[in-house]
Structure 1
Amino acid sequence: MSDSQNPQEDDQAQPLVTHLTELRDRLLRSVLTILFVFLCLFYFANDIYYFVSEPLRSLLPEGTSMIATEVASPFLTPFKLTLVASIVVAMPMILYQVWGFIAPGMYQSEKRVAIPLLISSILLFYAGLAFAYYVVFPLVFGFFSGVGPEGVSYTPDIARFLDITLKLFFAFGIAFEIPIATLLLIWAGITTPQALAEKRPYIVVGCFIFGMLLTPPDIISQALLAIPMWMLFEVGVFFGRFIGTKKMGPVEG
């Protein structure tokens, strides 16, 4: 009796093994892509750090420079930044692998919505990074470099600078995903554009609280994060009126 059940158990286990094998392969491709990009960028590690630190270095008092307080910081800090940059550059390929894994289980109607959302999420993430670098960094570092007491030399540590920079980069990158999150909530039927519009006052307050937590305590830099977040939320609500809610249907290929 037990022997007759073995073929059925094998048939049930086979799809799971197939999915796990495919997941392993796609993870391996993602890692290899990151490694390839890293090897291409590593030669320029110091140049990349020089570029990223430019908004701060341009504001340092004349005759001062950034410092390294740890023995390995001159090597490890550019190394860490280059690794993170490699992940950011390889993000389209990583998301493509994620899409390739989940797409076979999606309905055709879901794919028509998911593909534009996926592309938009990549573009918005990069837009958030660019906004942080070109708009927020000069204001944030300008504030920090100008509030110190007289007689104190402002010489930021390169490792501490990188930690703050990466937090701001990813905070703004994630913040710029608000339209995608809003559309997904509407598409999944969790909420509606009308319900979100009614909660607008709470959303605005939440945006300013988020901005207060991520920026220095001045109204200008707080507004530079809060107002774009609010406007991106409004964009998500606006387009959410056109996509409708998720509907299940037969798989079309």
Structure 2
Amino acid sequence: MILLIVTLVIFLLAFIFSMLGLGGAMLYIPVFHWFHYDFKSVAIPTGLLLNGLTALSAAVYYIRAKMVDIKGSIPLIVSSFLGAPVGAYFTKFVPTKTLIILFAIAMIFAGGKMLLSAGQKEKEKKMKELPKMILMSIGGFFIGFIAGLLGVGGGFLFVPMMLAMGYKTKEAAATSAFVVIFSSFSGFAGHIAEGHFNWPLMIATSIAVIIASQIGAKVMKEKMKARWIKQMFGIILLGVAVKLLIKVLL
């Protein structure tokens, strides 16, 4: 019964996060934790797997719709792919409570950034190619490390970074979904190597996110406005961050 309830909740979250260009691990992991799955050995690796599957399913739709900057995403893909397993390795050295606090702080940063930028006009031009590639490579490794450590795909940091470099909101969300695939599965592989998995939970929730993310991607492309995407992103992340901090600190 618990597995069914968790799967339905994950289905709804995958629908929402596929519209934002995120894998959804920032909410998948707290959900697993609230249903008493172990944070390190089950919640984080399962969250990374679902994160990658949600992003993969949505990215297929976005690529077909020509919304993804594939060439521009290569520095992020390579650097985050390298950083994620390094972060996954260091998970065993960080206490669970510390991981949750770091997780919540990262969510507050990303959520606040999105809400503050929701009403701002979209930038007209991207950065020049060479500075953009250098910054995205450095930022990508750091984001990949954080993704592997905290069990997230990194989309909550990829999107703000790309917006700062001049990407349109929908292009940033779509490209982020593509990039998140690689950092998520790289981090997931690192956890599997450490023996962290729960196959019944992974299989049931994987089916749910694949279906839900296709629906969410279609809705984002055809119905959503850039301002709405940023506002949804910010509100969801801040709400979950506050709930996590209250539970850990009080």
Q: When the two structures are superposed, what TM-score results if normalisation uses the length of structure 2?
A: 0.26
Of structures 1 and 2, the one scoring higher in RCO (CA 8 A, sep 6+) is 2
Greater radius of gyration (CA): 1
Q: When the two structures are superposed, what TM-score results if normalisation uses the length of structure 1?
A: 0.26
**Of Structure 1 and Structure 2, which has the larger fraction of its residues in helix?**
2
